[in-house]
Amino acid sequence: MAKIHDLDKLDRQILSILMKDAKMPYTDIAKKLFVSGGTVHVRMKKLEELGIVKGSRLEVDETKLGYDITSFIGIFLERSFLYNEVIDKVKDIPEVVNAYYTTGNYSIFAKVCCRDTNHLRELLSEKIQAIEGIQRTETLIALEESINRPITLVEED
């Protein structure tokens, strides 16, 4: 797998621009970087083939869609070898928007979006805690998202 140091300056510049504004047309990026639109297109194709660019997403404000509660759930497994079984079931829960296999206290750390606290309670008791292999959970409710940004690609001199 390619690492950031395998990319040249132009690749990093293209990525930096698109990570700030994924909707920017390749022609506008090309103008900013003094290259052709075709060059940007070819570079992006290469970055996709290398697995560096995995796609693009539409970012929405969940609260404006009625999902007012964002929570983080630490999931304790009965046994660590149950991870694959459990995560396959967690993937089927639409309120789970991110999940990580972690070290430390939790085996899985998940981010969920719910309409309200009743929705969160139902999600925990009827869906997540009902999964065989989950010993218990710990829930943290987010009060505010203070930072949400892509990684900054630092220029090498």
In order of their start, the domains of the chain are: 7-49 (1.10.10.10), 62-141 (3.30.70.920)
Find the range with the poorest average confidence among 13-17, 108-112, 136-140: 13-17
Q: pTM score > 0.85 for this model?
A: no
Q: Phi, psi (5° rounding) for residue 76?
A: -100, 125
What pLDDT was estimated at residue 149?
A: 87
DSSP notation for 77-127: ESSGGGHHHHHHHHTT-TTEEEEEE-SSS-SEEEEEEESSHHHHHHIIIII
Query: Residue 137: which of 78, 81, 88 has the closest Cα?
Result: 78
Instruction: Indicate the DSSP class of residue 133.
Output: T
pLDDT in tens, 75-97: 999 999 999 999 999 999 999 99
Instruction: Indicate the DSSP class of residue 128.
Output: I
Looking at the predicted structure, is the pLDDT value of residue 154 above 90? Answer: no
Single-letter amino acid code for the residue at 4: I
Query: Residue 127: which of 152, 94, 78 has the closest Cα?
Result: 94
Higher pLDDT, 135 or 57: 135
- The tokens describing 85, both together, are 């079984």
Tracing tokens 């497994």 back to the chain, one arrives at 77
Find the range with the poorest average confidence among 39-43, 76-80, 152-156: 152-156
